[in-house]
Amino acid sequence: MSARIIDGKSIAASMRARVGAEVARLPAPPGLAVVLVGEDPASAVYVRNKGTATREAGMRSIEHRLPADASQAALLALVARLNADDEVDGILVQLPLPRHVDAQAVIAAIDPAKDVDGFHVVNAGLLATGGDALVPCTPRGCMALLREAGTRLAGAEAVVIGRSNIVGKPVAQLLLAADCTVTLAHSRSRDLPAICRRADIVVAAVGRPEMVRGGWIRPGATVIDVGINRIGTADGRHRLVGDVAFDEAAEVAGAITPVPGGVGPMTIACLLENTLVAARRRRGWKE
């Protein structure tokens, strides 16, 4: 292996400690409200982890659990209450929502100033136009990893694979804002290996296990693997792999994130950072 491993776990731990230290200096602890609808086991784990991390950073975690058959009206009423609650600085509605709920309508109902997931169209628009957006957590985490890895951004060729609103598009916007030349590739892109091979920075956010092969990576490139895929093993268990064939890519890349332990831990750390940012802006607390 020649690539340097970008240790998301330790970078996220430092970020969380830094947020905790800044929170300790605030006049009051910021509050993060997390709303979970239904019993999806993966979502329940995420919500529990977010609650623990929030408390560890010295913030207040306010958790609301609604049954899987909760109506859209009930969810919108809860969001309206949280919008109006002065003690709540951040609101996160855990996705996915049950099918009978219109997730876009729920996101649109969140006060953009409290939208710590950065999914509201106002924040997406601010990000696209260079304003003071609340930036989606996973993309923010990708940029923090690139910066920690010392990757040169200005003028770099960056290829993002995947165009979701949650990861691909905001990562592309952030790379553009950092003066990269950005290509946003997706399921209909022609000759993806050739597109990837010209990249100094590859961000894979596809959801296809080990799709990006070693031969797609330009020697010395930085590879950020956002994918989290559970695959079955021969002994009937599961393991997590990314969208990048790690062993192959690590032979060629200059630096690479592992899965797990790369982008994953950064998402919660960036959520805490967003909550701190939202609290400061809303309450007029200086940095």
Residues that bind ligand NAD (CB under 6 A): 138, 161-164, 166-168, 185-187, 189, 192, 205-208, 226-229, 263-264, 267
- We find the least distance from the C-beta atom of residue 120 to ligand NAD, in angstroms, to be 17
- We find the least distance from the C-beta atom of residue 259 to ligand NAD, in angstroms, to be 8
Phi, psi of 277 (to 5 degrees): -60, -45
**Closer residue to ligand NAD (CB): 252 or 263:** 263
- We find the least distance from the C-beta atom of residue 84 to ligand NAD, in angstroms, to be 29
Give me the residue whose beta carbon is nearest to ligand NAD. Answer: 164
**Which of 117, 200, 225, 243 is labelled catalytic?**
117
Is 132 among the residues known to form the active site? Answer: no
**Closer residue to ligand NAD (CB): 24 or 45:** 45
**Closer residue to ligand NAD (CB): 29 or 168:** 168
Output Rg (C-alpha) for the chain, integer angstroms: 19
- We find the least distance from the C-beta atom of residue 12 to ligand NAD, in angstroms, to be 11
Is 50 among the residues known to form the active site? Answer: yes
**Which of 94, 114, 173, 225 is labelled catalytic?**
94
**Closer residue to ligand NAD (CB): 48 or 81:** 48
**Closer residue to ligand NAD (CB): 57 or 167:** 167
- We find the least distance from the C-beta atom of residue 169 to ligand NAD, in angstroms, to be 9
Q: What secondary structure, in 3-state letters, does the chain show?
A: CCCEECCHHHHHHHHHHHHHHHHHCCCCCCEEEEEEECCCHHHHHHHHHHHHHHHHCCCEEEEEEECCCCCHHHHHHHHHHHHHCCCCCEEEECCCCCCCCCHHHHHHHCCHHHCCCCCCHHHHHHHHCCCCCCCCHHHHHHHHHHHHCCCCCCCCEEEEECCCCCCHHHHHHHHHHCCCEEEEECCCCCCHHHHHHCCCEEEECCCCCCCECHHHCCCCCEEEECCCEEEECCCCCEEEECCECHHHHHHHCCEECCCCCCHHHHHHHHHHHHHHHHHHHHHCCCC
| Active-site annotation, residues | 50, 94, 117
